Amino acid sequence: MRNVMTTLVGAWACLLPLMGIDIPRDNIDKFDLKKGIEVWVKQISNSSQVACRFVTQDSLYGKPHIYPFDYPKEIFNEELPSFLDYCEEKVSEKKGVALGLVIVGEVDATDLHHYLASRYEKHRIEENFSDNPVQLSRNHSKDIEVLLSYPQKLQEVNTDDDLKRLWSFYLIQSMAENRFKIATIEADGKWVPADDAKSLLPTLTTVGHGIERFWSPNVSEDRLLKSYLSAVQILKERGFSENELADSKSQLIKHIYRYYDPQPDEIKLVEYYASHMAAFIPCSNYESFMENSFRIVPEINMTDISEVLKDSFKDDSRQVLILQPEGSSLTESSVQATLGQFVSDEIEFKYTEPEKIVIEAEKDAFLQLPMTDDEQKMIQDIIQTVGPTSKVRLAWLKSDLEKKKMKLIHIHPLRSIAVMVTDPYTKQCLGDIMDDWVKRTSFMSDYNKRLNREVEKDNLMLYVPGFCLAVKANPEQVRNYISNCQWENLFWYLLKLNH
């Protein structure tokens, strides 16, 4: 999987210019029903099945729910009413809102429109959506459930700049949710992950959601809310770490890949369209959107994140939902008072590029480590040979590879590692080595010895600033790996970075 995605990203990065790409809208038939329910239909001639998604939003938790329904076209119309009955029941149970229906395949759009318009003529779905900033409800247990959300309308995607902002917002959501998880645990609460909406795009809200393990009159009932609000203040002031961003970008690429197919079938398309409906943004052309996403996500850096962070987590958009047991004294006014203690609109994370704070002498120290151009090419050649080559073939090449390695033994390990992870194809081949247990074991055995030898001589920390500039890594993270001699973790970290 890693190889395929890396190849896709690399290929598109070479083929597409950096900025100014227009992303066209997709051609979809649309019509509206009662209660604001939308219907999107994508006709595919000679299709054998019809893929359908019913898109709703949970009024309490702000997350979309996308219900699937895929049937052969011959019986689709027959089974559709039962599917809609089921979805409407779920919407009623969750006190949510029905957003719409997305259908991909060969269908009779006129008959479909007539049936759906008739079905919803009497407003069968009740809307129970509330936008009150503070909502308190009773539950039947002794748990306290707390949710903090920041509704924000997403910007529609017309250019690659819009796309970068969209994915930056997705990454902020992902990283913030991890921060909320930590805040929950530190407040002695139980983290409850959000339901998997199976949605490609970010949702309208960034959500923290936790349940207190124990409830007692002696325990502050809003401590989980305070923990969430404090976490928001910290991330607005300090942002995220380079390691957090690298991990989230790696996960995002895998997430996008799950929705990608060079020749998408009905199911891939209907999930793609339903994600746009759930995000309340017009649907962009599938091929253009996906290919540009693979190119743009690796380009996102901390400067992009800090820019989007400025407009996120606004105090006037906060919504708090608290489910509390009988006997709780928490009131709307007390929650409002807590919100007043934690303001973040005036807090702004200002990111400084590492290059601006590194001492010149430290940069020069790494660059002055001896290595010729021929030696650099030899390092690349070894990695590019070992990575994609079968283990049987490598057995025949072992003698030649050992001779080359002996010629490079004098090169400082950080200098050679930088060569491996800054050339795209060499980095890809290094990923192949790390993904193979046999190759990784042999490779790490060699580098464990070399790096441990330099530790004994206290000959690594001096070169960390220049090394991190070369590979665009976080110096604090690299120093941590070196201090703990976590060499394999260091390589995995470097492989995740965007060079």
Helix (H) or strand (E) holding 150: none
Cα pseudo-dihedral 196, 199, 205, 208, rounded to 10: 20
Number of H helices and number of E strands within the chain?
Answer: 19, 10
Sheet-wide strand order for 319-324: 134-138, 319-324, 145-149, 207-212, 189-191
Candidate ranges 16-25, 218-227, 233-242; pick with highest mean pLDDT: 233-242
Of 116-125, 313-322, 404-413, the range with the lowest mean pLDDT is 116-125
Instruction: Report angle CA 334, 337, 339 to the nearest 5 degrees.
Output: 115
Contact 395, 401 (CB under 8 A): no
Residue pLDDT, tens place only, 121-161 = 765 555 555 678 888 887 777 778 888 888 888 889 998 89
Determine the CATH number of domain 134-351.
Answer: 3.30.830.10
- Residue 270 confidence (pLDDT) above 90: yes
What is the predicted pLDDT for the residue at 3?
35
Give pairs for 330-337: CB < 8 Å, separation 24+: 330/136, 330/221, 330/222, 331/136, 332/134, 332/136, 334/222, 335/134, 335/136, 335/222, 335/225, 336/134
Query: For the segment 343-379, what is each residue's pLDDT rounded down to a tens digit?
Result: 999 888 888 765 544 444 455 678 888 888 888 999 9
**Which one is predicted more confidently, 480 or 39?**
39
- At position 206, the amino acid (one-letter code) is T
- Contact (Cβ atoms closer than 8 angstroms) between residue 388 and residue 425: no
Residue 67 predicted with pLDDT over 70: yes
Q: How much is the pLDDT for 397?
A: 87
Please state, for a pLDDT cut of 90, what percent of the chain lies above it.
Answer: 31
Q: Tell me the domain boundaries of the chain.
A: 33-119, 134-351, 355-496
Mean pLDDT of 96-110: 90
The 10s digit of each residue's pLDDT in 445-497 is 999 999 998 888 888 888 888 888 888 888 878 888 898 899 998 999 898 88
Highest-pLDDT range among 1-5, 120-124, 204-208, 282-286: 282-286
Q: Please name the amino acid found at residue 232.
A: V
**How does residue 2 score in pLDDT terms, banded at 50, 70 and 90?**
very low
In which band, very low, low, confident or very high, does the pLDDT at 41 lie, cut at 50, 70 and 90?
very high
Name the percent of the chain lying above pLDDT 70: 87
Per-residue confidence (pLDDT) for residue 427, from 0 to 100: 92
Residue 68: per-residue pLDDT: 94
As to burial, measured by CB atoms within 10 angstroms (0-12 exposed, 13-18 middle, 19+ buried), residue 46 is: exposed
Mean pLDDT across the chain: 83
